[in-house]
Chain A
């Protein structure tokens, strides 16, 4: 039975500024960008409409297509890697080990760093003439090869490695908090039944962490779309197009190449992509909530 609410005038007024900001800043600028993507703007906005020409140009650009593919590979591996490693770290810390808080700090520490710092550190470590390869070789193993950042086929995985190193700590903290919320009774019951520890984690703990891990996964996924700084710091999109990502493509065209029309077309495609990816989830959640409401 729906409850009738009186409209609170003061509350409406209090929310008004936020509403205005949301409408003008978010939706307004988005509409402005989409409009520009149909024009031939170069350095400055123009109002000469050229239809879908910028989109045609965009999808005939090998660089853009490569960037879409790269962000997909990076996104899947990065999110999956962070979730897996983060969960394992949390499970390890959950075993009531000594110096737990010290380890927790150490594992979370990378997350406090900017992606630029992470990117630079890993770039130096993976650079064949400066980093790990050079040091191992100087120790006597002359044929050792670790050249991921300069290797066209491996550069994208170097990004994943650096990303997971940074992001796993966040998942660990969230998962650990979730694990601490699980009642001790369940552990006792499982022990009495003689279930092995790994099985408890997989079959009992993991399902209960669902919402926590989903939240962590969402946070990471949003980071994937924005991926820019770590690429610039580590590989600058190279070698060739092998680590180009959409955000960098857009930034390059927006500033370096004075190509506003193409950049906004790219941004529009990116927004559409996100909406298409997120809509089914939102719809599923909405349907589930409605089903619950009926029951």
Chain B
């Protein structure tokens, strides 16, 4: 119906001749993402500009909130009218779609661009299904970060980054005493789960973390680690403000930007918000990996390419995959988004201190994947439920809570 109207209207304007010719010449793509916050939109714009420069036509269908975007995307898939590209994480989330033959591979682009050499092997494996490359990775995010406002720290008299959880809580007490909200808490389940995971990594180490999430190990050591994690998480309840429930992560970041709050646990995309507000890493705000953590949790974004049955879109998908993996674009995109480039062969000098810290951990292999990469969406949802229930329930019964944690994998 809408298409008919459009055709009719363009027909009137161009007297029927020009319009169809134009539409077929240019590779057109409709991209669906949940990148709508300031920093995210700026990063997406980098890809858009280059894509258009190389002759593509860009149609943005961004929807705030990845849950909402996912729902809309599934509706479009089921209705047989998928968008040309969708932003999504690498790993298990896309597996069902690929398994049903709903996505186009970008194997030839990957081969031509030598992606196998440019990407870390673990990432390359996660974008390939049955030996074919399907996803075009945009950037990796470190998720073990604590961001802090230097102004707030100065006011509270904290001079050094805390190295242990004890020091960390001592620092939070100082912030509280100075009349500053100690923790800018984003009270949405997915954010709380990220905090849970970064604490877990600090308590059980890289091997312990993988044992729990990959091998679903239920040994005494794992249970003890979960209990210690819940203990720390429970303590944090005393350092958040009344408005925390349901708060968006970027609203929490804004509390740091205005020095109303001291610290925020968040993935490095929060840097995008600082950048948009004109704040500089290392000068106005600091970034540290959570205390006692031997490494970093990471998540990686990519573009998915659904089959649309339209030759023009197929062409556009290949072009988009090329653009996204272009070394220069990878760096530019990461600067805006706050992420770490996926390619190992890019110019690192432009990256800020935080991204360089993150890249160090990545190249040293001190990283573990986020739950969205390791678990099925059902399990991810149950994990969110578990952490949310513990956090907002106010219970300190760690033993039975730890029991519930392992029920997620059943």
Chain A interface (Cβ within 8 Å of chain B)?
A: 42-44, 62-63, 123, 127-130, 133, 147, 149-150, 152, 235-236, 238-242, 251-253, 255-259, 262
Contacts and interface: CB of A to CB of B under 8 A. Distances in A.
B378 to A, nearest CB: 5
A239 B96 CA distance: 31
A150 B245 CA distance: 6
Contacts of B377: 43, 256-259
Given A62-B385, A240-B388, A255-B70, 10 more contacts: A150-B242, A150-B245, A150-B246, A152-B393, A238-B246, A239-B245, A239-B388, A256-B71, A259-B377, A259-B378
B52 to A, nearest CB: 31
Contact of B97 (A43, A235, A238, A242): A43
Given A257-B381, A258-B378, A128 B392 contact: no
21 contacts: A42-B96, A43-B100, A62-B389, A123-B246, A127-B243, A128-B243, A150-B187, A150-B243, A152-B393, A235-B246, A238-B388, A239-B187, A239-B245, A239-B388, A240-B391, A242-B392, A255-B71, A255-B74, A256-B67, A256-B377, A259-B378
Given A256-B67, A257-B380, A258-B96, A238 B392 contact: yes
Nearest to B92: A258
A256 B381 contact: yes
B243 A236 contact: no
The residue among A63, A241, A256 with the most chain B CB atoms within 10 A of its own CB is A256
A239 to B, nearest CB: 4
B37 interface: no
Contacts of A258: 96, 376-378
B96 A149 contact: no
B20 to A, nearest CB: 35
Contact of A252 (B75, B244, B376, B381): B381
A44 B380 CA distance: 18
A36 to B, nearest CB: 13
A155 to B, nearest CB: 8
Nearest to A255: B71
B267 to A, nearest CB: 19
A295 to B, nearest CB: 53
Contact of A236 (B70, B246, B378, B380): B246
Contacts of A152: 392-394
Contact of A240 (B75, B380, B393): B393
Contacts of A257: 377-378, 380-381
Contacts of B246: 123, 149-150, 235-236, 238-239
A253 B384 CA distance: 13
Contacts of A129: 241-243
Nearest to B102: A44
B381 to A, nearest CB: 4
Contacts of A262: 378
Given A238-B392, A257-B377, A258-B376, A150 B97 contact: no
Please give me the 9 A-B residue pairs with the lowest Cβ-Cβ distance, nearest first: A129-B243, A255-B71, A240-B392, A150-B245, A128-B242, A239-B392, A257-B381, A43-B96, A258-B377
Interface in B353-410: 376-378, 380-381, 385, 388-389, 391-394
B62 interface: no
Interface string B176-199: 000000000001110000000000
Interface in B41-85: 67, 70-71, 74-75
Contacts of B96: 42-44, 258
A71 B389 CA distance: 19
Contacts of B75: 255
A282 B394 CA distance: 45
A44 B100 contact: yes
Given A236-B188, A255-B71, A256-B71, A42 B378 contact: yes
A128 B181 CA distance: 14
Contacts of A43: 74, 96-97, 100, 377
A253 B382 CA distance: 10
Contacts of B241: 129
Contacts of B74: 43, 255
Contacts of B376: 42, 258
Contacts of A238: 187-189, 245-246, 388, 392
A279 B106 CA distance: 56
B378 A241 contact: no
A63 B407 CA distance: 14
Interface string B325-353: 00000000000000000000000000000
Contacts of B242: 128-129, 133, 147, 150
Contacts of B97: 43
Contacts of A259: 377-378, 381
A43 B391 CA distance: 29
A43 to B, nearest CB: 4
B66 to A, nearest CB: 9
A259 to B, nearest CB: 5
A183 B129 CA distance: 76
Given A43-B96, A43-B97, A255-B71, A150 B389 contact: no
Nearest to A145: B242
Given A44-B100, A256-B381, A257-B381, A240 B244 contact: no
A62 to B, nearest CB: 7
A118 B241 CA distance: 25
Contacts of A62: 385, 389
A252 B68 CA distance: 10
A240 B67 contact: no
B168 to A, nearest CB: 24
A41 B249 CA distance: 33
Nearest to B242: A128
Given A129-B241, A150-B242, A239-B187, A255 B385 contact: no
A63 B242 CA distance: 24
B373 to A, nearest CB: 15
Contacts of A149: 245-246
Contacts of B244: 150
A150 B246 CA distance: 8
A123 B393 CA distance: 21
B378 A255 contact: no
A15 to B, nearest CB: 27
Contacts of B392: 152, 238-240, 242
Nearest to B244: A150
